[in-house]
Amino acid sequence: MSKRVLILSSSPRKGGNSNALCDRFMEGAIEANHQVEKVLLAEKKINYCTGCYACGGNGECVQKDDMFHILDGMVAAHVIVLATPVYFYMMCAQMKTVIDRTVARYTKLTDKEFYFIITAADTRKAALERTVEGLRAFTSCLPRAKEKGIVYGTGAWDVGDILRSPAMDQAYEMGKRL
C-alpha cells in the first residue's frame, strides 16, 4: 500500500547534513512507490505559538502563516519524518516551533508513523538522546503515534560531512522499508 509521507526538514543551513539525509530517505520512499513531500522549514514563515489558545474552540490558529498548510500536511500524512540538526544537544528552534504550533490540531495527528533524522557534530550516538527524548515527548502526546526508526547522523559538522557516513545508506533503507 502506498503511503503519504511528509518530511519536515528543519535545518536552517542550505545543503545541510540533516537535509541530505532527508533526501536519501525520500529516494528510498519514492523507490518503494510512496507519495513523498518534503518541506524545508527554513523557507517557510512560521511564527511562534503565543499560547493564546484561541485555537481551542475550533482547531484553527489565529496566526496566518505557513503553519496552516504544514499542519494540513501532517494531518493527511501516514508517515511523518522529523529531521533536525542538533544544537547544544537539543533539536533546533525551527523544529521546536513547528511542534509547538501543532497545538491547534494535535489531536488530529492520530495513527501516524514517525521517523527521526538527527545530525550532530558529536560522534557519540548516546550524546543525542536528549534530542530523541524531546521528539518522543512530542509524539507521546499524539493518539496512537508509532516511532518506527531513527537515523543518527553523527560526526557531521561541516556541510557535506554526512555524505561519507553510513547514515546515508541507513536513511535510504529506512525510506525504502516504509
Whether the pLDDT of residue 113 is over 90: the answer is: yes
Cell numbers for 62: 489565529
Q: What is the pLDDT of residues 43-75, one digit of tens each?
A: 999 999 999 999 986 788 999 999 999 999 999
Given its phi and psi angles, is residue 81 left (phi above 0), alpha (psi -120 to 50 degrees) or beta? beta
pLDDT at residue 150, as a whole number = 98
pLDDT at residue 56, as a whole number = 81
For the chain, give every domain's residue range: 4-176
pLDDT at residue 148, as a whole number = 98
pLDDT at residue 9, as a whole number = 98
pLDDT at residue 155, as a whole number = 95
Closest by CA to 78, choosing from 109, 108, 112, is: 112
pLDDT at residue 59, as a whole number = 82
Question: How does residue 127 score in pLDDT terms, banded at 50, 70 and 90?
Answer: confident
Q: CATH for 4-176, among 3.40.50.360, 3.30.70.360, 3.30.870.10, 1.10.3720.10?
A: 3.40.50.360
Cα 171 to Cα 64: distance, rounded to the nearest angstrom: 34
pLDDT at residue 57, as a whole number = 62
Whether the pLDDT of residue 23 is over 90: the answer is: yes
Stretch 71-90: mean pLDDT, rounded?
Answer: 96
Stretch 74-95: mean pLDDT, rounded?
Answer: 96
CA distances from 166 to 17, 26, 169, 174 (A): 13, 16, 6, 12
Cα 154 to Cα 111: distance, rounded to the nearest angstrom: 29
